[in-house]
A and B are shown apart, each in its own frame.
Chain A
């Protein structure tokens, strides 16, 4: 999966959580939780979505490392082989 495809899947997960938002307008280094107003419950759902779509389980201790699109894509790329 290349980075663009990854991005599309991430957008799909975000769209499910915040249906009225347009994740496509997110800048690579924008804080997603703040921009899309995602609370801790929805954040957990987002990580569940990452597990389902990419098979990558994010441990709780890494939650804080995944704030922006570029961070998430980098994190996934390292773990998807």
Chain B
């Protein structure tokens, strides 16, 4: 038996509220399946499971708020008696990282690409579970009438629509295990749920968001001895190259300038891996996977920094698609737990409003944060000549316990090198 516990979806989380179970007792689950929707102070997250098995019992009811680490469900695993080691329950991202990322590349990347919502489409109110179901079953959410709270589309609505669209509804139903438990009770809990709309009033939500950010940032400034380095980067090569690339693309496929920056950061982290990872239990833990947390500000205030998993392995088009998908889901609900916990480094881009230099606060237990300001035309001297170039100031805030300024300087140098060879990004 394995225990499914309330995970810590970030160092600022102490408790979470179960919004919806995506499974029932008796359901078969596979590693990386999202099985519950949990609301934290910051967002509604789909929480994934980390082993194959059958759901034995669900211990927490939707609506209940429980502390991080609380056992929420028991899963009968194939291995039988092998209990789930506590660190596997995402008490921190680091310990889980290595085992988790192996299975990623192909399938997960594909999922990112296929689930990109159509930006032009009207925003449909639907629970994260409903969105996922709809994607899996190729149901167009805009054709469904929601019966959930505030007319949001629930999982049950999607199931009904999918069943109606198919002559063999039995085949689409989730796999039914042999020893099925009575479903009536749990069914009732699942169907009318409309988690996205169940958020507390905007003000409460913002208070909670501020508190969560306060906890993480206070811890960062209390524990992490930051050092800061900054470098001015000549962006003319990257921007010229990007301009010619974008001319080949339709407006929908254009790549934003932040995308080559993200790629260059992840390649520079390959060169200087010490900045990619965590400081936990007085020890520096370097991560092999480069999962780049990207700060996304929310329109109603606050921020979330979900991870672009394996950013270094993706081409620019894939990264643009991943970023678009992540921003959409951050703002409309449906982030997955791995995206909340697995970031190994953070990038923040404040250039949109004209900020020149960002002095970042590291998100613990990470050891570095890279900040970008606005690219501005500036006088630039090179080879004895003075010219005007688009200049971007990149900053590194790094944990001095984990690395020294020399490593940090090597990182910024590598970042600059990659940006001067944009065709290799």
Report the stretch among B116-124, B148-156, B265-273, B310-318 that lies at the interface.
B116-124
Cβ-based interface call for B282 (8 A): no
Report the separation of the CA atoms of residues A34 and B354 in the bound assembly, to the nearest whole angstrom.
11
Among candidates B122, B251, B299, B324, residue contacting A20 with C-beta atoms closer than 8 Å: B299
Report the separation of the CA atoms of residues A80 and B104 in the bound assembly, to the nearest whole angstrom.
47
B120 touches A40 (CB 8 A): no
Q: A16-B123, A18-B299, A52-B120 are in contact. Are A40 and B254 (CB under 8 A)?
A: no
What's the nearest-Cβ distance from chain A to residue B356, in Å?
16
Cβ-based interface call for A81 (8 A): no
Q: What are the residues of chain A within 8 A of B252 when measuring CB–CB?
A: 48, 51
Q: What are the residues of chain B within 8 A of A19 when measuring CB–CB?
A: 123, 299
B299 touches A45 (CB 8 A): no
Residues 10 to 66 of chain A near chain B (Cβ within 8 Å)? 16, 18-20, 33-34, 37, 39-41, 44-45, 47-49, 51-52, 57-61
| A interface secondary structure, majority | helix
B392-419 to A contact mask, C-beta < 8 Å, 1/0: 0000000000000000000000000000
Q: What are the residues of chain B within 8 A of A39 when measuring CB–CB?
A: 297, 352
Q: What are the residues of chain B within 8 A of A40 when measuring CB–CB?
A: 256-258, 352
Residues 237 to 258 of chain B near chain A (Cβ within 8 Å)? 243, 246-247, 251-252, 254, 256-258
A48 touches B300 (CB 8 A): no
Residue of B nearest to A51 (CB): B251
Report the separation of the CA atoms of residues A44 and B249 in the bound assembly, to the nearest whole angstrom.
13
Report the separation of the CA atoms of residues A59 and B249 in the bound assembly, to the nearest whole angstrom.
10
Q: A18-B299, A48-B251, A51-B251 are in contact. Are A41 and B122 (CB under 8 A)?
A: no
B251 touches A47 (CB 8 A): yes
Q: What are the residues of chain B within 8 A of A47 when measuring CB–CB?
A: 251
B299 touches A41 (CB 8 A): no
Q: What are the residues of chain B within 8 A of A60 when measuring CB–CB?
A: 243, 246-247, 254
Cβ-based interface call for B45 (8 A): no
Report the separation of the CA atoms of residues A51 and B119 in the bound assembly, to the nearest whole angstrom.
12
A44 touches B254 (CB 8 A): yes
Residues of A within 8 Å of B, CB-based: how many?
Answer: 22
Report the separation of the CA atoms of residues A18 and B353 in the bound assembly, to the nearest whole angstrom.
17
What's the nearest-Cβ distance from chain B to residue A14, in Å?
12
Report the separation of the CA atoms of residues A40 and B327 in the bound assembly, to the nearest whole angstrom.
12
Q: What are the residues of chain A within 8 A of B122 when measuring CB–CB?
A: 16
Report the separation of the CA atoms of residues A20 and B258 in the bound assembly, to the nearest whole angstrom.
26
What's the nearest-Cβ distance from chain A to residue B330, in Å?
11
Q: A41-B327, A60-B246 are in contact. Are A48 and B352 (CB under 8 A)?
A: no
Q: A40-B256, A40-B352, A49-B120 are in contact. Are A20 and B243 (CB under 8 A)?
A: no
Q: What are the residues of chain A within 8 A of B258 when measuring CB–CB?
A: 40
Q: A48-B119, A48-B120 are in contact. Are A41 and B324 (CB under 8 A)?
A: yes
Q: What are the residues of chain A within 8 A of B247 when measuring CB–CB?
A: 59-60
Report the separation of the CA atoms of residues A80 and B300 in the bound assembly, to the nearest whole angstrom.
35
B contact residues vs A (CB 8 Å cutoff):
119-120, 122-123, 243, 246-247, 251-252, 254, 256-258, 297, 299-300, 323-324, 327, 352-353
17 sampled A-B residue pairs with Cβ under 8 A: A16-B122, A19-B123, A19-B299, A20-B299, A20-B300, A39-B297, A39-B352, A40-B258, A40-B352, A41-B256, A41-B327, A44-B254, A48-B119, A48-B252, A49-B120, A58-B251, A60-B247
Complex A-B, nearest 7 residue pairs according to Cβ-Cβ distance, in ascending order:
A39-B352, A51-B251, A45-B119, A52-B120, A40-B352, A60-B246, A48-B251
Q: A16-B122, A48-B120 are in contact. List 4 more A-B contacts (CB 8 A).
A: A37-B299, A39-B352, A41-B324, A52-B120
